[in-house]
Amino acid sequence: MSTSEPRAPFGARLRSAVADRGNLCVGIDPHPALLEAWGLSVDPAGVAEFSKRAMTAFGDLVPAIKPQVAFFEEHGSAGISLLEDLLVEITSSGALSVADAKRGDIGSTMAAYARAWLSEGSPLACDALTVSPYLGVGALDPAFDAAESTGRGLFVLARTSNPEAGRLQGSVGDDGTVAQSVVDEVGRRNRTSFGRGGGSFGVVVGATVADPPELDGLHGPVLMPGVGEQGGSLDDVRRIAGSVLPRTLVNVSRHVLRAGPDVDSMRNVVVDLNRQYRFDNAT
């Protein structure tokens, strides 16, 4: 992309990718146990082959691909270098990259994370980044600003899929639950940046959650992990997403990756999931 050609907002690019390819986002999570199950070495060479086969299997099928940064980071600089290459390859495949790094820190440090993941020309630049609001949604402002100015997006953790999350994220303050206040604050940012950001700021809500936040006021996308290995189902996704179902990106990682190392087997699982998780006609 030339500098004279501004990138369209992430929200608009995601809507178009979903209209084209459906609502499924597959994760690339090279767990050591999966590398072993695929007959690969638990080292950077194994991670490289794992990522290559995964991209061959579904790079052209889904609107978004979410590398789990932790499984690259654990291999040090070689792993990060592979992640840089993978982010480029995801773009070449026509999918959007969602880097699952769950970053979050005080504003000035957050600005450095924003430069790393959301600025033009950075080796780790992705289309969207997962961020943690534990230091306050306002502490993430450098990331909101960077994302808006470069046509990128954020997914802010609101109500996560893990069983330990409810006590903290479901606790009730003046504005309802903590999870609801995160959704409301992200929704406010989507409304104030409409036209420029195009609803590029999303939240993460797990498909396993019994007490999800109300998402009607979000005006942005939802990343919904927890389907498959963590027990979430299509019915759960429908129940939790409600009116934002068409803008929901359903993440599945191990359920697809366990079908490897055979590329066709993984591809078949994704084709099947793609049939179920396509909500463009949802009411």
Ligand X SMILES: O=C(O)c1cc(=O)[nH]c(=O)n1[C@@H]1O[C@H](COP(=O)(O)O)[C@@H](O)[C@H]1O
**Which residues bind to ligand X, rule: CB under 6 A?**
27, 29, 68, 100, 130, 160-161, 204, 206, 225-226, 228-230, 251-255
Closer of 228 and 260 to ligand X (Cβ): 228
Closer of 26 and 48 to ligand X (Cβ): 26
Report in angstroms how near the CB of residue 3 gets to ligand X at its nearest.
31
Pick the catalytic residue: 13, 102, 159, 247?
102
Closer of 254 and 278 to ligand X (Cβ): 254
Report in angstroms how near the CB of residue 251 gets to ligand X at its nearest.
5
Angle at 70 between CA 66 and CA 74, to 5 degrees: 140
Q: Rounded to whole angstroms, how far apart are CA atoms 145 and 132? A: 16
Closer of 198 and 226 to ligand X (Cβ): 226
Single-letter amino acid, residue 8: A
Could you give the residue ranges of the DSSP H alpha helices within 103-251?
Answer: 107-118, 141-150, 166-169, 178-192, 234-241
Q: Rounded to whole angstroms, how far apart are CA atoms 195 and 210? A: 34
Q: Rounded to whole angstroms, how far apart are CA atoms 40 and 261? A: 9
Report in angstroms how near the CB of residue 27 gets to ligand X at its nearest.
5
Closer of 130 and 181 to ligand X (Cβ): 130
Q: Judge whether 66 counts as a catalytic residue.
A: no
Report in angstroms how near the CB of residue 132 gets to ligand X at its nearest.
9
Closer of 6 and 163 to ligand X (Cβ): 163
Report in angstroms how near the CB of residue 277 gets to ligand X at its nearest.
13
Cα 164 to Cα 56, 160, 161, distances in angstroms: 35, 9, 9
Report in angstroms how near the CB of residue 196 gets to ligand X at its nearest.
25
Cα 60 to Cα 7, 79, 245, distances in angstroms: 21, 24, 23
Residue 126, Ramachandran bin (φ over 0: left; ψ between -120 and 50: alpha; else beta): beta
Q: Rounded to whole angstroms, how far apart are CA atoms 148 and 141? A: 10
Q: Rounded to whole angstroms, how far apart are CA atoms 223 and 203? A: 6
Cα 167 to Cα 177, 211, 225, distances in angstroms: 10, 11, 19
Q: Rounded to whole angstroms, how far apart are CA atoms 176 and 179? A: 8
| Residues acting as catalytic residues | 102
